[in-house]
Structure 1
Amino acid sequence: MPLALSGCGGQAESPPPQGNPPVTVATPLVQNVVDWDEFVGRFEAIQSVEVRPRASGYLLGIHFRDGQMVKKGQLLFTVDPRPAEAAVAQAVAQAAQAQATLANARTELARSQTLAASRAASTEEVEARQAALRSGQAQVAAAQANVRARRLDLGFTRVTAPISGRISERRVDVGNSVAADQTVLTTIVSVSPLHFSFNGSEALLLKYQRQGEGTQIGTPVRIKLADEQAYSHDGTLDFIDNVIDAGAGTIRARAVVPNASGFLKPGMFGNLRLEASNPYPALLVPDTAIIADAARQVVYVVDKSGTVVARPVQTGPLLGNLRVVRSGITREDRVIINGIQRARPGQKVTPQNGKITAAPAAPAGPPTSAAAPASTARPAGN
């Protein structure tokens, strides 16, 4: 029976020889991009003031709601003004007394001068009256200055907002005694614009200075908050410190960010992207087309004979799902973008033409540290 089966051709046929594995290839996408470096920082108020009274006494009134917006010069607190009003009245009375003494000195001087003209008074008497007049004038000036000082003290019983911004809660209730220049009544912070402070590494500062990028006042920045996916808050770099922190090896910088709506609050953390280059033409390939080979990165290209060649490359920042390739390939190379798992260097493949298209930029995660920010890119003009 086995012989009959064999003669009838019942044995399995051998599979046909396999051809070259198919892969999808495409030339790199060429696009103008701008590099961005990322930093972690937080928002700070441009102005922050502790409101303290300039007059001592008992707190008589509070004229704001906790947390409201206040304008510069708005009345916030009232300190009992009665002691200051009494001091003003006393100073006014002293000034009136000095004026009366001065008027009497003028009269006495005029009388002495008349008598001296008829030789009825001596020169010494006239000089004494002149001295009394000068003394009276000085007393009037001192009394008037005292009146101004006491009226200034009276004005200090009205505590007004030194800046415009959002006020905190009151820290002292009505009826408590407050001390001039000591008791903190509340605080006010400005809300628009805000500063965004962050730290950058010394190495990054050197790179910027040598390239002439990133250290210019007015350089654009973009910021996202902890719960945001997009960098939707625009600002500009407005300050770079003049020294590097010797302990951390970082330098402090800040940006100014508009906040007309008041949504941003001092103390909020965020991620900042700093424009780190001018627009430049870049070669872009899918990030999945780049292979980590030990300590280097390579891409597989297919040459004219259909053979896979491994090309070591130097990569740059990520733009969405595409990676900038700074060196190692040309814009004419056919890079394997699909089927890379079936390709081996030196192997023949069947290339099929594909196309690399730009995808919307994916939100980048926070950098690992302020001294070593992540690097991303975006299309120029966006």
Structure 2
Amino acid sequence: MNQPSVPPAKSAVFFSTPFTPGVLALLALLQFLLSGCGETGNAANGAPPPAAVKAAQPLAQSVTEWDEYTGRVEAISSVEVRARVGGYLEKVNFTAGAKVNKGDLLFVIDARPYKAQLNYAIAELERAKSKRELAKNDWSRAENLVKAKAISTEEYDTRAKGWREADGAVQSAEANVYAARLNVEYCEIRAPINGRVGREMLTAGNLVTGGDVTVLTNVTSIDPVYVYVDADEQSLLKYRRQALQRKPGAAELKGTPAEVAVADESGFPHRGQLDYVAPQENRATGTIALRGVFANPDELLSPGLFARMRVQGGAPYDALLIPDRAVGTDQAQRFVWVMNQEQQVEYRKVTPGARIGEMRVISDGLRAGEWVVVEGQQKLRPGAKVNPERIALNSGQGT
């Protein structure tokens, strides 16, 4: 029986084509690129690098709390200069805005009419003295005559009365001389206080009226000066209680330390003290006026300037301070980031106190020696690793 024919099995075919150097180089490049992509993907799927931050330990020092207010500088004295006698203005003897001392000559009024009156008064005085001398001699003779009963008692009394009237006339003439001499002196108008003089309101040649009618210029004192501010009633009560602690039975605020600065000054370079507290509250504003007095030798505190004044709000105490910028706000609470030994950060609720310059007192929630993130805290999360730069704090700068 014939078997069906089976086609012969085909044998496997292998190609042994050799690779050229160019092909090998291309394969090597592809392998390098693929391995690089794999490494990049692994880094993207891993943890982010630690955040770079600056950390510092709280500054432990004694601090004094101050309450800050705004107000105005005012002169202690400001005087309108007026003429006491009338006449023609002969001379203006100052430069507007110049510094003057009490007694410096400012204006000269024509004194000739007043000198004539003085001379007349002096002559009248001499006449009165002569009459008094004659009356005295008559009285002296009358004393001898009345003892000898050569004249009557009535005649003696008449001569005694004549002497008394003559003596009174001398005193009246002396007063007239004094008044006339004053009028001559008043023709020279002098600075009433130390300070700076304003501009002249009248120039030489004008007729001046004596009394309250004509203001010639003004003089404003410049050293020391006052600064007035308005304090709320809570602050005033605090100051008075502190005063009672210092001296029981006397809530006297006079002498409480105060400091002041004007618009272009940082800090509070001018030191002084309170010297006046209003006796009652302003009901319209709910505030009480405080006044500080400050030396002003360099004249930086010019009357009328806006000023910042702060008043010592309590006795010095020991506190922990960190830069104010390190304290964050989360809804109604304040917090800081505290770094542990593993360089991980912890969200820490704190109770802030007074601000001292660029620093903030931390009343609760922080211990001395802990490391607080003071810069770079914007993207931190609880437990995050950080790469810290440790710095030392300075009370003035906060860094």
TM-score (norm 2): 0.76
Partner of 2:159 in structure 1?
129
2-structure distance, mates of 1:67, 1:83: 32
Q: As a proportion of its length, which structure holds more helix?
A: 2
Point out where structure 1 has 5 or more consecutive residues left out of the alignment: 1-7, 363-377
Structure 2 alignment gaps of length 5 or more: 1-30
Contact 1:301 1:308 in 2 (8 A): yes
1:179 offset after TM fit, Å? 2.3
Match of 1:285 in 2: 322
Matches within 5 A, 1:1-382: 15=42, 18=46, 22=50, 27-182=57-212, 183-212=214-243, 216-301=253-338, 310-319=347-356, 321-331=358-368, 333-337=370-374, 340-345=377-382, 348-350=383-385, 355=390, 357-359=392-394, 361=396
The one-letter code sitting in structure 2 at the alignment partner of 1:279 is P
- In structure 2, relative to structure 1, the CA distance for the partners of 1:226 and 1:215 (3 Å cut) is farther
Supply the AA of the counterpart residue of 1:331: A
Is the 1:321–1:359 contact (alpha carbons within 8 Å) kept by the matching residues of 2? no
Q: Which has the higher contact order (CA 8 A, sep 6+)?
A: 1
The residue type paired with residue 86 of structure 1 is A
Contact 1:299 1:335 in 2 (8 A): yes
Query: Would you say the 8 A contact 1:205–1:215 is kept in 2?
Result: no
Q: Distance in 2 between matches of 1:26 and 1:220?
A: 32
In structure 1, what is the Cα distance between the partners aligned to 2:233 and 2:283? 10
SS at match of 1:15: helix
Q: Describe the shift of the 1:352–1:32 C-alpha distance in structure 2 as closer, same or farther (beyond 3 A).
A: farther
Larger Rg: 2
SS of alignment partner, residue 184 of structure 2: helix
Percent of aligned positions with the same letter in both sequences?
Answer: 35
In the TM superposition, what is the alpha-carbon distance from 1:351 to its structure 2 partner? 6.0
Deviation for aligned residue 1:51: 0.9
Decide whether the 8 Å contact of 2:253 with 2:277 is kept in 1: no
Over residues 329-358 of structure 1, what are the superposed CA-to-partner deviations in whole Å (9 max), with x where a residue is unaligned? 33355544456445445xx34466664532
Which one-letter code corresponds to 1:196 in the other structure? V
CA–CA separation in structure 1 for the residues paired with 2:292 and 2:150: 83
Q: CA separation in 2, counterparts of 1:28 and 1:157?
A: 70
Paired residues of 2:271 and 2:294 also in contact (CA < 8 A): yes
TM-score between both structures, scaled by the size of structure 1: 0.79
Q: 1:314 to 1:54 in 2, by over 3 A?
A: same
User: What CA distance in whole angstroms lies between the structure 2 residues aligned with 1:161 and 1:317?
Assistant: 47
Check 1:96–1:310 CA distance in 2 against 1; reply closer, same or farther (3 A cut).
Answer: same
Kept in 2: contact 1:21–1:342 (CA 8 A): no
Tell me, in whole angstroms, the C-alpha distance in 2 between the residues paired with 1:163 and 1:196.
Answer: 20
Deviation at 1:142, TM superposition (A): 1.6
Give the residue type in structure 1 aligned to 2:288.
I
d(CA) in 1 for partners of 2:387, 2:141: 122
Cα 1:119–1:316 change in 2 (3 A) is closer
